[in-house]
Amino acid sequence: MTRVSALARLEAMEAMSAVPLTKFRHRHLSARPLVVVPLAMAGEAGSPLAAIVGVSKRSPTLLVVGQPRDRVQRFAFAADLGRIVLDYIDSCRVDRREIGSRGRDQESRSRYTDAPQILVPNPGGIKFLADLGRACRFRSTTGDYPVPAGVPELGMWLTFLANTAEEAGTSMLMSVTDMVSEHWATGQSTLEDQNLAALMAWIAPPDGLTVEQALLDAENPSVCPPAGPATSPDFDNIYLAHAIKQSDTARAAGDHEAASAAQAEMRELINEQIKPTWRLMWTAISLLRGVPEAPRAAKRFESDCASFTGYSDYQDSGTALPQRTRDSAIGAAKRLSRLERALENLEADMAFDDPYVLADRRSDGEAFAGVVVDAEPGRVVTTDKNKRVPRPLITIRTLDPTRLADDTRLISPSMPAGHKAVITHTEPDGEASLVTVEINGGMGRALIPRPGTVPELGQVIAYLPDPGWRPTPVFPERDQTVWTHSIDETPDPDSSIPNEATAEEWGDDN
C-alpha cells in the first residue's frame, strides 16, 4: 500500500465515506454485460447450488440444483448455464471487420468488434467459474457417463475466460468488488472490501441508513446474505438441508407432487438468498457507469476483441481440444512472462491517463514531477551511424522521492503523444533532486525540434517509466528441456483426458 492509498483510506475512515482513488474507470464496461451470481453449498467445495444470470436487472434467470451431490443434476445445471452463456457469446460474434495486414505475407485479417463480458460479485465467483470450466471441459457427450450437449464447450469457454481474468487489464471476466475498490478507497481492509455489501455500504448506503448502520446490516447474513460463492452455514443447516431432504424423500417415494412442492420451496429459499446480491451488482454497475472511462481503456478492449476472435475461430475450426490441466514448464514460463508484461502495461497506462494514479506512483518513487530549471533545447549529437540528430537535455527539480535508475526510458503525460526521454543522471539538491533527462523521441525528423515538443524553462512536467516494446523472451524447445521440467507425453494431456480430471473439484463420481 502506497502513501497516497493509505492516506485515502484514513480519510475515508475519518469521514465515514468512500474516497475516490482514481479520476477514471480503467476497466472497459460493456453496454450489455452478462451478470452471473453463483452459489455453492458452504460445505461442498466445487458443487454448484444455484446461479442467477442475465443481461438485464429486471429479467434474470434463476438456476437451482435440487441435489448438489447428484452428478446428473450438476451437469443439468451446467447445461442450462451453458445455453445462456454460449448464446451470449454468440451474440458478440455478429459484427466483424478487417484490420489490415501485418508482416511480409500481407494477408488481411479481421476480428470481432465486440467481446463478451461476464461480471461476478467477487474473486470467489471467478474461481467458481474456473472450477466449473475445469470440471466440464474434459467430459464427453457420448459413451459412459455422458453429459448434456454443450457442457464440454461451456467448460472450454469458461476456462478461456478464467485464464484471461488473470491477465491485468482484460475485461472479459471481472469481479465487481475489484472494479469498485480500484476506484474507491474505504475505511476497511482490502479483505473486507471483497464483501460486496460492505463495500457498497461505504460508497452508496441504502436510503435512510448511515454508513455505520449499512455496515452492520452487511455483516448480518439474515439481512445481507453472502454474495457467494459459498452460502451462509446457518442457512445451509437450518433451511437448505431441510429443503434438500424433503426433495430427496419425495423423489425416492415417487411422489411427483411433493417433489415439485419441495423444489418450489427450495427455489424460493435460494431466490431470497441470491436476490439481494443481484440488486447490489446492478447498483455497483450503475455507479461504475457514472465514472468516465480512461482514454487507453479502449485500446485494451481491442486486445480483448483480438483474443476473443482468436479463440472463437479456434472453437469454430472443429479441432478444438480442452486446455491442459497443468502447464508445462515452458508454457508456465511463457504465461508468467505474458502476465508480468500485461501488469507493467496496465500500470503505465493508468498512470499516464490518470493524475490520481500518477500521484500514487510519485509517492512511491516510481514516477516524478517537477519544474524545468535548465534546458539545452538545441543540443545535437552524432549517432554511431554518423547521423546528426537532436537530443535536447533538460534538468527537472523535483521534491518527489527519486528511485529511478540512470538510463531508465521515460514517457510523459504532460507532453504531446510520442514524447520519449531517458534519464542521464540524478543528483541531490537539498531536500529536492535534480534529474537530467535526454529527449530522444517525438520531436519530428528535422534537426530543429517542432515547437512544443521540448519542455521550456519553468514548465511543470511529469515523467514515468516507459514499459515500451520488448522482444518476447526466448525459451528452450521441448526436446531441450531438462527431464526435471518435462511432462510425460504419454498420454498427451491435449488429446486425452487425464485420469484425475474426472474426480477433481466436484468429487469422486464413484
Termini Cα distance of the chain: 47
User: Tell me, what's the pLDDT at 188?
Assistant: 93
d(CA 380, CA 436): 16
Q: What is the dihedral of CA 440, 444, 447, 448, to 10 degrees?
A: -100
Count of helix runs (H) and strand runs (E) in the chain: 13, 17
d(CA 93, CA 198): 37
Question: What is the domain partition of the chain in residue ranges?
Answer: 3-99+108-323, 349-465
User: Tell me, what's the pLDDT at 44?
Assistant: 66
φ, ψ of residue 253 to 5 degrees: the values are -85, -5
Locate 34 and state its grid cell. 452478462
User: Tell me, what's the pLDDT at 104?
Assistant: 53
User: Tell me, what's the pLDDT at 91?
Assistant: 95
d(CA 284, CA 33): 13
Task: Report strand pairing: 118-120 vs 173-175.
Answer: parallel
User: Tell me, what's the pLDDT at 51?
Assistant: 95
Structure pTM? 0.89
The b-or-e profile of 56-73 (16+ CB within 10 A means b, else e) is eeeebebbbbbbbebeee
> What architecture is the 349-465 domain classified under in CATH?
Beta Barrel (2.40)
**How many alpha carbons lie under 13 Å from residue 17 in its C-beta half-sphere?**
5
* Angle, helix 211-218 to helix 196-203, in steps of 10 degrees: 170
From first to last of the 510 residues of the chain, give the pLDDT tens digit.
Answer: 678 888 999 999 999 999 999 999 999 999 999 999 999 887 666 688 999 999 999 999 999 998 888 889 999 999 999 999 999 999 999 999 988 655 555 556 899 999 999 999 999 999 999 999 999 999 999 988 899 999 999 999 999 999 999 999 999 999 999 999 999 999 999 999 999 999 999 999 999 899 999 999 999 888 889 887 888 888 888 888 888 898 889 888 888 888 889 889 999 999 999 999 999 999 999 999 999 999 999 999 999 999 999 999 999 998 889 998 888 888 888 899 999 999 999 999 999 999 999 999 999 899 999 999 999 999 999 988 888 999 999 999 999 998 999 999 999 999 998 999 999 999 999 999 999 999 999 998 888 999 999 999 999 999 999 988 777 778 777 777 776 666 654 444 444 444 444 334 444 343
